[in-house]
């Protein structure tokens, strides 16, 4: 997809706000934001939506190594030091006129408690991201697909649940045929799911993801239940390579 596509812009802004856009893709997105005021506004909107989730997250004591790194990052620089400090590295954020001090504190809380607490092993790589919106077009669910090993991580602003006798089902929408293909059920209370090779290959052809509610035991040939959330599936590798080439 083209970078100026409105849906793709929202997906990338949502992934950036969640902290799941990493590596080369994240750096490229930050450079784009420096030149795109509307893109910065989208990121701020997503961050404001995430503040309640950050404040509701349980307090977690970070490991000693994380505390040492944070202490070193926020310590006043010495006169002999020429290394730019933590705040100097955030030149981009200083350019966001819409972010006030209270929001900045809430964002740090979200990144520190939410994203770092759930961070995958270093060897793993985030390949696909989907930010799914509800029927009111409000972002509610993030679906993250990692390789090494293949797995999905689902993060929701509100608890995902289904009434007795029903289940939530995750589908992909194929890029070429627009056909919805069942990926797997989402058990209540679970956030991380292993994927086999066959299901991972399905993600390669996905242009969108959707979550439906269906009756347990009913066929999964087509989404027969209510569509609760849906959104574009972004391949971060392809997006980053496309931007590098263009």
What pLDDT is attached to residue 169? Answer: 94
CATH number of this structure's domain 125-244: 2.60.40
What pLDDT is attached to residue 23? Answer: 80
DSSP string, 11-65: HHHHHHHHT---HHHHHHHHHHHHT-HHHHHHHHHHHHHHHHHHHHSPP-PPPHH
Task: Evaluate if residue 88 carries a pLDDT over 50.
Answer: no
Low-confidence winner among 5-19, 36-50, 94-108, 141-155 (lowest mean pLDDT): 94-108
Q: How far is CA 202 from CA 94, 180, 189, in A?
A: 41, 11, 24
Mean pLDDT of 232-236: 84
Alpha-carbon radius of gyration of the chain: 19
In the three-class reduction of DSSP (H, G, I as helix; E, B as strand; rest coil), residue 180 is classed as: strand
Is the pTM higher than 0.75? no
Nearest Cα residue to 237 out of 146, 119, 174 = 146
| Contact of 142 with 18, CB cutoff 8 Å | yes
**Beta-sheet pairing, 226-235 with 180-186:** unpaired
pLDDT in tens, 139-185: 888 898 888 788 888 988 888 888 899 999 999 999 889 999 999 99
d(CA 65, CA 9): 35
Domain extents for the chain?
Answer: 6-120, 125-244
Residue 195 phi, psi (nearest 5) = -120, 135
82 against 38, higher pLDDT: 38
34 against 56, higher pLDDT: 34
Mean pLDDT of 26-39: 83
d(CA 33, CA 40): 6
pLDDT in tens, 195-228: 888 989 888 889 999 999 999 989 898 887 789 9
Residue 153 phi, psi (nearest 5) = -125, 130
CA 224, 225, 231, 233 torsion-angle sign: negative
What pLDDT is attached to residue 150? Answer: 87
What pLDDT is attached to residue 62? Answer: 66
């Amino acid at each position: 997809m083209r970078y100026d596509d409105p849906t793709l812009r929202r997906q990338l802004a949502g992934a950036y706000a969640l902290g799941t856009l990493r590596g080369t893709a994240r750096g490229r997105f930050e450079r784009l934001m420096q030149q795109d005021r509307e893109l910065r506004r989208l990121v701020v909107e997503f961050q404001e939506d995430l503040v309640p989730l950050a404040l509701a997250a349980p307090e977690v004591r970070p490991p000693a190594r994380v505390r040492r790194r944070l202490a070193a990052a926020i310590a006043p620089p010495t006169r002999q030091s020429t290394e730019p400090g933590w705040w100097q590295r955030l030149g981009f954020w200083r350019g966001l006129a819409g972010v006030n001090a209270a929001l900045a504190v809430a964002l740090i809380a979200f990144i520190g408690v939410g994203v770092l607490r759930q961070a995958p092993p270093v060897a793993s790589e985030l390949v696909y991201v989907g930010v799914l919106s509800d029927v009111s077009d409000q972002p509610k669910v993030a679906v993250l697909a990692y390789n090494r090993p293949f797995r999905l991580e689902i993060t929701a602003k509100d608890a995902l649940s289904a009434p007795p006798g029903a289940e939530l089902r995750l589908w992909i929408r194929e890029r070429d045929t627009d056909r919805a293909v069942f990926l797997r059920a989402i058990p209540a209370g679970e956030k991380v799911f292993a994927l086999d090779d066959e299901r991972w290959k399905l993600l390669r052809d996905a242009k969108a993801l959707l979550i439906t509610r269906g009756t347990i035991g009913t066929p999964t040939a087509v989404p027969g239940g209510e569509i609760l959330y849906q959104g574009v599936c972004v391949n971060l590798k392809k997006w980053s390579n496309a931007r590098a080439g263009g």
